[in-house]
Structure 1
Amino acid sequence: MSGRLLRLSWRGLKRDLRSGDVRALFVALALAVAASTMIGFFLDRLDRGLTRQAGQLLGGDVVLEQSRPFEAELRETLEAAGLTLSDQVDMVSMVSRGDAFQSVSLKAVDDVYPHYGASRVSRGGKVEEVAAGPPRGEVWIAPRLAMLMDLQSGDSLRVGSATFRVGAVIEREADPSAGFGSFNPRLMMHVDDLPATGLVQEGSRIEYELLAAGPAQAVEEVAPLLERLRGEGVEVRDVRQDRPRLGSALARADRYLSLAGLAAVLLAGVAVAMATRRYVERHLDTAALLRCFGASQRELVWIFVLQLLWLALAASLLGAVLGLAGQAALLALLGAVMPIELPPPGILPLGMGIFTALAVLMGFAGPTLLRLRRVSALKVLRRELDPLPASAWWVVTVAAGVFGGLLWLYSSDGVLALGLLVGGLAALLALWGLGGVLLALLARLCAHLPRQAAPHDGLWRALRLGGQQLARRRTASLGQLLAFATALFAMGMIALVRGDLLDTWRAQLPEDTPNHFAINIQPAERDAFEAALAGTADARSALYPMVRGRITAIDGQPPLEAVPEQARGDNVLRRELNLTWRADLPTGNRLVAGDWFAPSASTAEGWLGAVAADPVAPISLESGLAERLGLTLGDTMTFSIGSETLQGRVASLRDLDWDSFRPNFYVIFPPGVLEDFGHSYITAFHLDGGERELLRNLVRDFPAVTLLDVESILSRVREVLDQVTRAVELVLVFVLLAGVSVLYAALVASMPVRAHEAGLLRVFGAGNRLLSRIQGAEFALLGLASGLLAALLVELAAAGIYVAWLDLAPRWHPALWGWLPLGGVLLVGGIGQWLSRGLRRQAPAASLGLLGET
């Protein structure tokens, strides 16, 4: 490649920067780079930050738990991978003060605790944040234990064989989920004090936890080891798998951001394709002249390719700056609620952004650009010797292949990329047919508008003429219609998904979400406890009975032999489950297979009457558990309850709302089966912060009932969701800008034809006002038709994406059919009128000459 070609390409680009199509190309490429780099930086930094913050609920990035101490070899392996380790020991024990005794949930922590966050403790009435655990010789206690035993800071408390000083009252633990499953008030102490208590004995029921924290690469490095540990019976937890309230939100946010980035890239690609077509048509004569001066086909291609590469380089630099500024602005907005320091941005998202711009340029502009290669030198004398444009199918095929590759690159899911690509091509075919029908209907409707003189005759005439022009340029109008519909579809899709995600998150955690659980309510206390809550708690769930049972057989086989190999380390096979009974389907549950218990089996009398015929009780099973264990309708499960066994046959499968902070159960029996077994009740309710007196009364009147305060967990979840919501808001702006760039590029490409038509109308006596009305009517009709097509496409695509990708229930959006067509009228009409204002001021001769503009 010679310096002469570089100079020619650079000079040509400087001259072309005054043209609207080149500006449209530049804007589209810059937006593609800005969207991809900003989202790349955002996902790279914020996702790690949010995941780490969410990890505070677990106490680390990975938590290992088993009933014996962890081996030194395992510790060395984890530390070698770059993880920092913290030891914890959990157990239930009795504490005493004088003649008073109380069962507590004891947590012993080391000097590394906590990995993230800080505990909020009260010392002598003063509340402070402490990023450490209790020192040796001191214990921290939960407020409920302080109320039960009338303790305060400085008092002495006996734990096992040792006496400790009460150093603080725990207002909030750094890792609040650690106490969520405990039925007793928390007591925290230093792990080095544990031997002095004498509580660790042979056969003691103790849980040893190893909390690991470190970079994502370190966690990925030990992933095979973690899978092996799961298979060996070690419980392995991480935030995405074991914190569904946060894991689902983060997963949906990641998918939404990826979807938004792909939408922005697709829109930029469409804008590039539209602008390139105009760019090529404008340079056909230039290419013919260069051929006359001796340029070969190869040199001709290189000149224009280099021009676009110069343009792509400048757009990439601007887009990269915009992407960096966008993610910095976003993180600045989130700084007030971001409690952790995010890692600095890496270089990979920047490289991905530049690669995206080049891929979009090659895939969406390449086939059209090759038209310049076939220009004949005779075109200088004979203007009709334009080379034939590339086949529309060839252009679509190349663009689809490039965009499919970007889909796979950004989603890391080949099946998803292929599905979206095939679905998109099918939608394009459907849009082509529907668009032709819709344009024909609009043209016929406009032709039948009133013709008699009337106050609004100018409007009717403008609509009739606008409809006639669309019908006259049917192929060109249909191409513009598809471009506008694609732009409106992408903008509408991202805006719609954003709204539904935010609605889902808001509905997930409303203001009256239960923030307290009451457990271990005895049957004799049920009515009195329910009466104590009546009229005081803002919202509460029903009281559910609980019976503890362990799975001992599945279809007559031991569980570990009956389930798939990957499920043999599942925690439900190693612990007791909470079983309940219910006559009707609980709130937040949805049947996905089978039938709920028949009315005759929903009463104790009905079930007892059926025992003689079939002693196996019907049960309802949570669908996720059924999937993990490979269970289907009709399979049997045997439960060990105390010294007795009970069989159940899977009669239905349910989806649960795990995000509701309400009691949920894997297994539900019909009434009349479990009542004779020992059971207690559980409920959840919401209390405002000022209702501490009710808690004191409940602790005093029902000392055996365990009250769990989950407000700290709830507040952490809300913090993360608020951050994700702000991220979604900013990403939408980039998609909207990319959509506007498509409208701009499509309208710029059609300007010569519209100028020619305007010149003809001016020759036949049309004034500026009538021209403005006709053009406005044409743009408005195009916008209306595009909005209607886009609304249909959004509804169909949203249903598929919700089910297959975002794990949301599909829904109908009636308002979409109003605001999207209206938005199309305003956007297309407004941008079209703005771009056409110069044409209306030109003389007819100048406007007629633009049809062959070079």
Structure 2
Amino acid sequence: MRPDHPFVSTPSAASNAAPRQNAWRLALRLLGRDWRGGELGLLLAALVLTVAAVTAVGFFTDSIATAIERQGGDLLAADLVIASSQPVAESLRAQAEQQGLVTAETLSFRSVVLAGEKTQLVQAKAISPSYPLRGRLRIQRALNGPSETMSTGPTPGSAWVEAPLLHALGLTIGDSLRLGEQPLRIDAIIAYEPDRGGGFAQFAPRVMIAAADLPGTGLITPASRVDYRLLLAGEPASLRAFRDWAGSHLTPDAELQSAQDARPELASASDRAARFLHLAALTTVLVAGAAVALASRRFVERQTDAVAVMRALGAPRGLLARLFAWRLLGLGLIASTLGCLLGYLGQQGLLLILGDWFGERLPPPSLRPLALGYGTGLIALAGFALPPLVQLARVPPLRVLRRDLGAPPASLALAIGAAVAALAALLLWLADDADLALRVLGGTLGAIAALAGLGTLMVYGARIAARRARGIWRLGLAGIGRRPAQSVMQLCGFGIGLLALLLLAVVRVDLLRDWQASLPEGAPNRFLINIQPGEVEPLREFFSAAGIDTSGLYPMVRGRLRAIGERVIDEETYDNPRAERLARREFNLSFASDLQSDNLLTAGSWWPNDQAPAQFSVEEGIAETLDIARGDIMHFWVAGKDISGPVTSLREVQWDSFNVNFFVIAPPAALSDQPATWVTSFYLPPGRDGWIPELLASFPSVTVIDIDALLTEVRGVIDQGIQAVEYVFGFTLLAGLLVMIAGIQASLGSRRAEQAVLRTLGAGRAPLLRAIMIEFTTLGLLAGLLASAFAALIGWLLATQVFDLPYGIDPWLWLVGVPGSALLIGIAGTLASWGPLVRPPLSALRAGN
């Protein structure tokens, strides 16, 4: 042995320092040798797929999130809105323009229009020429005529109105009306207005005019009650910068709104879309991480001989540890670069295929997914591959002469701890939702522990069955029991891969179908308000005669919140503008005997009967905004009378059901003697718009609110979210297949040596092949049983605990999962073992593993 060999220990400090300085160069040479020897193929493929999946998901969800946010802006006519009861400060407009944002203005107020001798209360809206910034206006040139899309509003001297105004005043297109002192010609009917809210406060028909006509009306004075809105739109970075700046520069009467703030229905739909997409990304990481772990084990087995040779040549353990660390770092950077490139190309292909979902080209993603990709690759390697590779440094040099000596067994605590830490870091980093990440992490650890425990029982059951079996069945089943640790590992790997495939093939379909069904085609698209108590029963009969069902008629009592416990509610109570606005306005209270089907109690209990004393059930979102807790005493001023009672329950409301819902509900005995109007919602089928004038003629005091356009937009968010999730889960499908390939490859080394010995003893290829088929088919059957059970459990947990959806177990989950997995793994394992089986036994015995 040469004294200058880099692995020879000498007393010279300089000779000891040289290997340390050149460790990274040697690591690169060894990495190249590993690649040429084919030892890195599976690990590199698993790692590239992991990073590609994460970056493709990241690029795509980044674009989708921006697109959904922009489409949400279509319901607000902007990306952000500053709403105020006073003219918006010029400094806010100047800052927005400095940030590169485009702006528009609207002014809304209540007034009365005149048409001859007739008058009608309306919601007037004056708009600047650039309105709307997001979305499009749709108008009709005749009643029940086709709609056309407009990018700007009415011209000066003209007005666009909603159809109920024509019905109320007996007007037609081309007639004139007067708003204040300004005469206006009716040019069109408003079919859709992006930022037309569906709230009960906007019960008067809309009249839209150009801002240039507003001074001529003479209606706006310093004492007028006007809703001023400054609309903003631009790139996400500019919007974020402006939002951060505006947080400390808004005047007390101003409020900054996004589409989610303004529309709880949209917020509910887009929140579910985001949670589905995050779940898809997390599932991909988990499954691909399992593939990395299994591939790392195979890589470690293949490195044992090389490490033994280096130890025999005098390589110290510290040098070997550094070599493996440098090799992993180089492998991680190469795989992460390839994965990021593939992820970006995959996302670009997706944009070409699916860009028209959003009516315009999807916005470009940010660079954040690149950091996610590199971070994921390095964290996955450190958590799954580094601990077993570090153990390789302890391979005894005697391994060169005795092939039966392997690396010392890895520390179970170190391996599990590193894997759990890597999973936790990746999930918390990728999820953007700590609650969802912790649930997925807990469920994953529980599933792996249960898979390992049940897999151990099944492996030992197969060992017992092998003792009673005969012939080729005994040989096949004995293969499972002969390597119990490896069989349990394979069973867990197969189980995770099959679990992912079953979640994709069956459970995913059920969850997305249930999500889509949460807003069915027959969801209410009209609200009817201002129903007088004496009209309730006649109105029910009127609907029944027309064959139209309602969601139920509900009483509505106006009340002002005066105090919560000892806190008196006034303009100084809250710093949050939304909380201040909610506290300042009158509440729409209701009373009910039973809890509505689309409400869920999250705290407390419902009152036992109609005669229960005054108490309140509060929607949990407004409870959080106004800092209301169960047990607080709420004081309302209703028709000159103080009505107070404790908060006995909190409710989660399914706002995207579009049924009538209330923030605050009381027992009937508390409010039934107060002046009330009634409200309902109903579904009006297409083509029956002509029934509305008949309804208004029979019940002239009621007001119809049309939310059909809003329903269409929310359904669009759901449909686009579902298609996005379908694509994202495709990466998980590839990861699941790779896990099963890695699981099969994990036992090929030891299996090759066993087959060589058996063939040397006279066993034929055909019986050995049948035994292998029995072994892998049995493993697939056991893995299918476990995966089907866990897929059903996870599907139920996701539906009920994460997405608030109903869920029923699909029998196809078991019919496909159990026999399908047995067939899939049986065939794949047999084909993978065919190559080593046809090789001469001597070459297999010389190769070792």
With the length of structure 2 as denominator, give the TM-score of the two structures.
Answer: 0.88
For structure 1, which segment, 466-475 or 355-364, has the greater mean C-alpha deviation from structure 2 after superposition? 355-364
The aligned runs of 1:677-688 (5 Å cut-off) are 677-688=674-685
Structure 1 residues 740 and 787: CA distance shift in structure 2, 3 A = same
| 8 Å contact from structure 1 (residues 109, 133) kept in 2 | yes
SS at match of 1:755: helix
Residue matched to 1:476: 486
RMSD: 3.4
SS at match of 2:537: helix
2:615 is aligned, of 615, 618, 628, to: 618
Deviation at 1:515, TM superposition (A): 0.8
| 8 Å contact from structure 1 (residues 234, 569) kept in 2 | no
Structure 1 residues 251 and 369: CA distance shift in structure 2, 3 A = same
Residue matched to 2:475: 465
1:572 is aligned, of 548, 570, 582, to: 582
Residue matched to 2:168: 148
| 8 Å contact from structure 1 (residues 280, 371) kept in 2 | no
1:44 is aligned, of 53, 56, 62, to: 62
Deviation at 1:514, TM superposition (A): 0.8
| 8 Å contact from structure 1 (residues 110, 190) kept in 2 | yes
Deviation at 1:735, TM superposition (A): 0.6
Q: Distance in 2 between matches of 1:294 and 1:848?
A: 27
2:219 is aligned, of 199, 204, 207, to: 199
Q: Distance in 1 between matches of 2:256 and 2:805?
A: 27
Structure 1 residues 733 and 80: CA distance shift in structure 2, 3 A = same
| 8 Å contact from structure 1 (residues 229, 236) kept in 2 | no
Q: Distance in 1 between matches of 2:263 and 2:25?
A: 62
Residue matched to 1:783: 780
Q: Say if 2:310 is the partner of 1:277.
A: no
Q: Distance in 2 between matches of 1:413 and 1:174?
A: 30
Residue matched to 1:513: 523
Residue matched to 2:538: 528
Deviation at 1:750, TM superposition (A): 0.6
1:33 is aligned, of 51, 55, 65, to: 51
SS at match of 1:47: helix
SS at match of 1:837: helix
Q: Say if 2:520 is the partner of 1:499.
A: no
Structure 1 residues 766 and 240: CA distance shift in structure 2, 3 A = farther
Q: Say if 2:609 is the partner of 1:589.
A: no
Residue matched to 1:110: 128
1:90 is aligned, of 108, 117, 121, to: 108
1:452-503 alpha-carbon deviations (Å, 9 max, x no partner): xxxxxxxxx5544332221221121112222222333444456666335413
Deviation at 1:664, TM superposition (A): 0.3
1:362-395 alpha-carbon deviations (Å, 9 max, x no partner): 3322223334444555543343454324323322
Structure 1 residues 379 and 832: CA distance shift in structure 2, 3 A = same
SS at match of 1:475: helix
Structure 1 residues 23 and 668: CA distance shift in structure 2, 3 A = same
Residue matched to 2:155: 135
Residue matched to 2:16: none
SS at match of 1:720: helix
Q: Distance in 1 between matches of 2:640 and 2:678?
A: 21
1:614-652 alpha-carbon deviations (Å, 9 max, x no partner): xx5233332333344343444322222233332233343
| 8 Å contact from structure 2 (residues 108, 126) kept in 1 | yes
Q: Distance in 1 between matches of 2:148 and 2:487?
A: 68
Residue matched to 2:551: 541
Q: State the one-letter code of the partner of 1:691.
A: R
| 8 Å contact from structure 1 (residues 32, 319) kept in 2 | yes
| 8 Å contact from structure 1 (residues 249, 721) kept in 2 | yes
SS at match of 2:357: coil
Deviation at 1:804, TM superposition (A): 6.7
SS at match of 2:347: helix
Residue matched to 1:748: 745
Residue matched to 1:220: 240
Structure 1 residues 231 and 527: CA distance shift in structure 2, 3 A = farther
Deviation at 1:510, TM superposition (A): 0.3
Residue matched to 2:270: 250
Deviation at 1:168, TM superposition (A): 1.5
For structure 1, which segment, 509-518 or 782-791, has the greater mean C-alpha deviation from structure 2 after superposition? 782-791
Structure 1 residues 760 and 748: CA distance shift in structure 2, 3 A = same
Deviation at 1:806, TM superposition (A): 4.6
Q: State the one-letter code of the partner of 2:582.
A: V
Deviation at 1:236, TM superposition (A): 3.6
1:387 is aligned, of 407, 428, 432, to: 407
2:716 is aligned, of 695, 716, 719, to: 719
Q: State the one-letter code of the partner of 1:111.
A: P
Q: Say if 2:366 is the partner of 1:356.
A: no
SS at match of 2:68: helix
Deviation at 1:733, TM superposition (A): 1.1
Q: State the one-letter code of the partner of 2:281.
A: G
Residue segments in structure 2 that go unaligned for 5+ positions in a row: 1-20
Structure 1 residues 259 and 179: CA distance shift in structure 2, 3 A = closer
Deviation at 1:723, TM superposition (A): 0.9
The aligned runs of 1:150-165 (5 Å cut-off) are 150-165=170-185
SS at match of 1:250: helix
Residue matched to 2:4: none
For structure 1, which segment, 574-583 or 398-407, has the greater mean C-alpha deviation from structure 2 after superposition? 398-407
Residue matched to 1:458: none
Deviation at 1:194, TM superposition (A): 1.8
| 8 Å contact from structure 1 (residues 25, 276) kept in 2 | yes
Q: Distance in 1 between matches of 2:594 and 2:249?
A: 40
Residue matched to 1:23: 41
Residue matched to 1:456: none
The aligned runs of 1:424-439 (5 Å cut-off) are 424-425=444-445, 427-439=447-459
SS at match of 1:199: coil
Deviation at 1:562, TM superposition (A): 12
Q: Distance in 2 between matches of 1:341 and 1:568?
A: 34
Residue matched to 2:3: none
Deviation at 1:298, TM superposition (A): 6.8
Structure 1 residues 553 and 327: CA distance shift in structure 2, 3 A = same
SS at match of 1:838: helix
Deviation at 1:816, TM superposition (A): 4.4
With the length of structure 1 as denominator, give the TM-score of the two structures.
Answer: 0.88
1:653 is aligned, of 650, 653, 663, to: 650
Structure 1 residues 308 and 135: CA distance shift in structure 2, 3 A = same
Q: Say if 2:735 is the partner of 1:738.
A: yes
Q: Distance in 2 between matches of 1:683 and 1:382?
A: 84
Q: Distance in 2 between matches of 1:575 and 1:63?
A: 20
Residue matched to 1:709: 706
Structure 1 residues 151 and 331: CA distance shift in structure 2, 3 A = farther
Between the two proteins, what is the percent identity of the paired residues? 39
1:256-292 alpha-carbon deviations (Å, 9 max, x no partner): 3333323323333332232232223223333444566
Structure 1 residues 619 and 785: CA distance shift in structure 2, 3 A = same
Structure 1 residues 448 and 680: CA distance shift in structure 2, 3 A = farther
Q: Distance in 2 between matches of 1:789 and 1:212?
A: 53
Residue segments in structure 1 that go unaligned for 5+ positions in a row: 452-460, 608-615
SS at match of 2:668: coil
| 8 Å contact from structure 1 (residues 334, 723) kept in 2 | no
Structure 1 residues 530 and 538: CA distance shift in structure 2, 3 A = closer
Structure 1 residues 59 and 462: CA distance shift in structure 2, 3 A = farther
Q: State the one-letter code of the partner of 2:238.
A: A
| 8 Å contact from structure 1 (residues 53, 340) kept in 2 | no
Q: Say if 2:755 is the partner of 1:758.
A: yes
Structure 1 residues 656 and 231: CA distance shift in structure 2, 3 A = farther
1:52-89 alpha-carbon deviations (Å, 9 max, x no partner): 11111122222232322222233334444443332211
| 8 Å contact from structure 1 (residues 89, 208) kept in 2 | yes
Residue matched to 2:5: none
Q: Distance in 1 between matches of 2:250 and 2:601?
A: 30
The aligned runs of 1:437-448 (5 Å cut-off) are 437-445=457-465, 447-448=467-468
Q: Distance in 2 between matches of 1:229 and 1:812?
A: 53
Q: Distance in 2 between matches of 1:300 and 1:655?
A: 58
Structure 1 residues 247 and 525: CA distance shift in structure 2, 3 A = same
Q: Distance in 2 between matches of 1:380 and 1:443?
A: 33
| 8 Å contact from structure 1 (residues 470, 778) kept in 2 | yes
Q: State the one-letter code of the partner of 2:116.
A: G
